[in-house]
Amino acid sequence: MPDADHLVVERLKRAGAISVGKTNVPELGMGSHTVNPVFGATFNPYDLSRSAGGSSGGAGAALVCGMVPVADGSDTGGSLRNPASFNNVVGLRPSPGRVPSWPDKAPWGQLSVKGPMARTVPDAALMLSVLAGPDPRSPLALDTPGSVFGWPLRGDVRGLRVAWSPDLGGAVPVDAEVREALRPAVEVFAGLGCEVKEACPDVSGADEVFLTLRAWQMELAYGELLDRHRESLAPDVVWTIEEGRKLSGPALGAAELRHAALFQRVRTFFETYDLLLLPVSQVAPFDVRLPCPSSVEGVAMETYPDWMRSAYLVSVTGCPALSVPAGFTPGGLPVGLQIVGPHRQDWAVLEAGYAFERATRVGESRPAVAVPDGVRS
C-alpha cells in the first residue's frame, strides 16, 4: 500500500476527479497482455475469448464498458496505446516530461511516461490539461502549463504532410487483417485535405535502445524483488530483470549513442512530414489464454517484447503518439491507428486524432453486454 499519492493522483484529486479504484494489469505492469496470478485475465469486451491488451488492459476494458470516463496509466513500450487499440478507446503517450512523475526511482529517465486514456480525444486532452505542467519535484518536467491542453480542439488538418507506414519500412511484421483495417485511414486523411505519402523514418538501432533501457529500468525497479521472491515471479519478468543485470557500462554507452543518432534521424524526418501514421499493434486482440502471440505473419516472435515493436520503436523516438479507434477486423475486433508527431508536438497529435475521430466515428461503436461462462449476471 502506498504511503502517499503519486503526482498524477494528486493532480486528478485537485481537479475534482473521484478515484474509484485500480484496474487490472499484467504482473508488475510488464507486457501488453493483462493477466496475473492474483486477479487472472482481463477479457476483451468485444470478444471474451480475446485479450484486452496491456499493461492498462483493465483500464481499456473499463473505459469501453462505461465503467469510468477516463483512466490514467503509464507507457514504456505501448502500455497506454496497445490497450486503447484492443478496446476501441483513446490512449496518449505524451512527450517525456509533459506529465511529471513523482515519486520516481529514475527521475531522469525518459522511456516510461504517464498519460491519459479516454473514450474520446477531447476527453483525453481534458485529462492531459490536468496532468501536464511543471513541478519542482520532477527534473524533466516541461514548463508548458497544462491549461493549454484544455483549449477547444478544432480538428483542422488541411495542408498537413502526412507519412503513412504500414510496417515501418519493413522493420516490423504486421498481420494482414490489421493492415486491411487501417488501409481506409490513408483515404480519410487525404479527404481531410492532407498530402499523404508512404514513408517512414529510419529506425535502425531503436530495438537495441529500447531493450537495453527497458532491461536497465526493470532491474533498477525490481531487482531487489527478484532477490527476495524469485520463485513467485513470472518467467518473462525474471528474464527481463536478469537481462538488466547483464548490462555493462559499454553496453549502456552504445545504447546512448544509438539513441542520439535515432533522435536526429527522426527530427530530420519531421522536417519533411508533419505526422506519421502506423499501426499501434502488429496483431488484433489474440486468444486470452496465450501468454503472447508466437508469430506475426509467419515471423516467429522469439522474445516477449517482439510482438510490441510497432509501439516500442516509437517510444524510443521520444515523440508523442496517440492511439485512436480506426476500424475492426472481419471478426469484429478493434484496431487502433497510431498517430505520431514531431518532438513535443502533443497538441498537433491530439488535433489530428480529433479530426480522424470526427470523420470516422469508429470509437462510437460499443461492445454488446456479455457475461463470461460461469459468472452470474
pLDDT in tens, 167-216: 999 999 999 999 999 999 999 999 999 999 999 999 999 999 999 999 99
Task: Give the mean pLDDT of the chain.
Answer: 96
Grid cell, residue 179, equals 493492415
The pLDDT of residue 372 is: 59
Average pLDDT over residues 134-139: 97
Set out the domains of the chain in order of their start, with CATH numbers: 7-200+268-287+308-364 (3.90.1300.10)
For cell 496509466, what's the residue?
A: 73
* b/e burial code for range 212-251 (CB count within 10 A of at least 16 → b): bbbbbbbbebbeeebeeeeeebbebbebbbebbeeeeeee
How many residues are recorded in the chain?
377
Nearest to 129 by CA among 118, 143, 116: 116
For cell 509467419, what's the residue?
A: 298
Vertex 322, ends 364 and 282: CA angle to 5°?
A: 90
pLDDT in tens, 247-303: 999 999 999 999 999 999 999 999 999 999 999 999 999 999 999 999 999 999 998
pTM of the model: 0.96
pLDDT in tens, 251-267: 999 999 999 999 999 99
The pLDDT of residue 168 is: 95
